[in-house]
Amino acid sequence: MNKRTGVIVGAGIAALVTGAILLPQANASPDAPDTPSGPRTLSGPSAARLASTLTGDLGENAAGWYYDADARRLVVNVLDADSARRVRDQGAVARTVRNSTAELRAATRVLGDKAAVPGTAWSIDPRSNRVVVLADRTVTGAELTTVTSAAERMDGLVTVERSAGEFRTFAGNEALDGGDAIFGGGSRCSLGFNVVVDGAPGFLTAGHCGNASRSWSVDQGGQPVGTVRSSEFPGSDFALVTYDDPAVPATSSVDLQDGSTQPITRVAEASVGMPVQRSGSTTGLSEGTVTGLDATVNYGDGQIVTGLIQTDVCAEPGDSGGAMFSGDAAVGLTSGGSGDCTQGGETFFQPVSAALAATGAELPVGGGEAPGDGGPVN
């Protein structure tokens, strides 16, 4: 269960102070959901494809979208009546909102300049049409005032909420048996997805794990099985490890922690509302929903990571680097968050697509195409 505990800042506060980025909202209308005549029932991947087409066609009049998994409908935020009609004509739900994507992105830049406080995270939330800032339990006193003051200056654009936990990366240093556990430099992390790079087998995990050790094994103190080829943290949070034995079978699957595995055949971009699962060496298999995109998290000590996927999936130390997936699609690598799998909390993930693009790695060939969902992204 998500342990956010109340909204601190809402709409109706003064405009930005002198020197901050101006965020004009002239001619903006209050949030007002439209009632479509006949929205289509869509799978998650089909909704993502339609959303990409619609947002491309609508340009600056589109203001984000999300997938309503319960109703199996695509919801597209728009700024005017003509755009709403075009959305409904394509079988999606149109929702007229106040804030444009450009204004929301500008708000995130202001937060980066004015409220870079350890223990905070923020992302654009298409459901509320605002930037939602999460402040963990360590953010108090003057630091909390810094965050709330920055939000107050952005009337109707930013909401501040509290997280009951503490944002941290999810690397662990205790030994624990498990097929998906990897050990290195006194740390325990989790393997994400097997990949192929330059014809050689390897795997992805978290960058803060890759920074902790150059060599990784499947047992605490055991013979190394892989060597870090590249690692990015902070900024991003991914590492590419190549297997020391080039004959290791290049197959990609996720341990479901019950003796079975989920084959991974493709890569999918996350979307708000997407149902996902996470597999990690500490807490096994967990499930939840994507709640935000392009999230920025400040773990403290200058460790700021951007471009993350925000979820309500739980995780704990040792789960870092583990696979987040949706069906047969690779979606993310576990980065960090707050809470645990008893009380809940927020967890953030590095998008797999960005890690593959940066490293030149690919999923192993031969997985095939998911029925009705299209082929691989990469």
What CATH number does the domain containing 184 carry? 2.40.10.10
Q: Are residues 88 and 146 in the same domain?
A: no
pLDDT band at 170 (very low <50, low <70, confident <90, very high): low
Integer angstrom CA distances of residue 159 from 132, 152, 374: 5, 9, 37
Residue 66 one-letter amino acid: Y
Q: Are 92 and 75 in contact (CB under 8 A)?
A: yes
Given the residues 136, 180, 208, 271, select the one marked as catalytic.
208
Q: Are residues 347 and 207 in the same domain?
A: yes
**326-356 pLDDT, tens digit each:** 999 999 999 999 989 998 889 999 999 999 9
Q: Are residues 36 and 167 in the same domain?
A: no
Q: Are residues 182 and 297 in the same domain?
A: yes
Kindly state whether residue 19 falls inside one of the protein's structural domains.
no
Q: Which of 18-22, 52-56, 202-206 has the lowest mean pLDDT?
A: 18-22
Closest CA to 115 of 8, 233, 2, 4: 8
Q: Are residues 111 and 129 in the same domain?
A: yes
- Cis peptide bond prior to 234, omega within 30° of 0: yes
Kindly state whether residue 126 falls inside one of the protein's structural domains.
yes
Domain end call among 141, 162, 183: 162
Q: Are 112 and 235 in contact (CB under 8 A)?
A: no
- Number of Cβ within 10 Å of residue 71's Cβ equals 13
Given the residues 187, 271, 320, 335, select the one marked as catalytic.
320
Domain end call among 96, 128, 152: 96
Place of tokens 């556990």: 181
Q: Are residues 119 and 239 in the same domain?
A: no
Q: Are residues 137 and 239 in the same domain?
A: no
Residue 342 one-letter amino acid: T
pLDDT for the residue numbered 89: 95
pLDDT for the residue numbered 4: 47
Integer angstrom CA distances of residue 97 from 130, 154, 335, 337, 352: 10, 16, 32, 29, 31
User: Residue 202 burial (CB < 10 Å; 0-12/13-18/19+)?
Assistant: buried
φ, ψ at 52 (rounded to 5°)? -60, -40
Q: Are residues 324 and 340 in the same domain?
A: yes
Given the residues 125, 136, 180, 237, select the one marked as catalytic.
237
Q: Which of 270-279, 291-300, 357-366 has the lowest mean pLDDT?
A: 357-366
Q: Are residues 44 and 61 in the same domain?
A: yes
Token readout for 110 is: 């202001």
Kindly state whether residue 271 falls inside one of the protein's structural domains.
yes
Q: Catalytic annotation on 231? A: no
Count of domains observed in the chain: 3
pLDDT for the residue numbered 16: 27
Q: Are 148 and 8 in contact (CB under 8 A)?
A: yes
Q: Are residues 123 and 269 in the same domain?
A: no
Q: Catalytic annotation on 208? A: yes
pLDDT band at 47 (very low <50, low <70, confident <90, very high): very high
Q: What is the mean pLDDT of residues 287-297?
A: 96
d(CA 117, CA 347): 18
Q: Which domain holds residue 56?
A: 32-96
Average pLDDT of the residues of the chain = 84
d(CA 169, CA 312): 16
Q: What is the CATH number of the domain that holds 149?
A: 3.30.300.50
Closest CA to 331 of 281, 367, 278: 278
How many helices and strands (H and E) does the chain possess? 6, 25
Q: What is the CATH number of the domain that holds 47?
A: 3.30.300
Kindly state whether residue 292 falls inside one of the protein's structural domains.
yes
pLDDT for the residue numbered 377: 34
Domain end call among 51, 79, 96: 96
Kindly state whether residue 267 falls inside one of the protein's structural domains.
yes
Start-end of H helices in the chain = 44-58, 81-89, 101-114, 141-152, 207-210, 352-359
Kindly state whether residue 15 falls inside one of the protein's structural domains.
no
Q: Dump the DSSP string for 216-270.
A: EBSSTT----EEEEEEE-SBS-EEEEEESSTTS----EEE-SSS-EEE--EE---
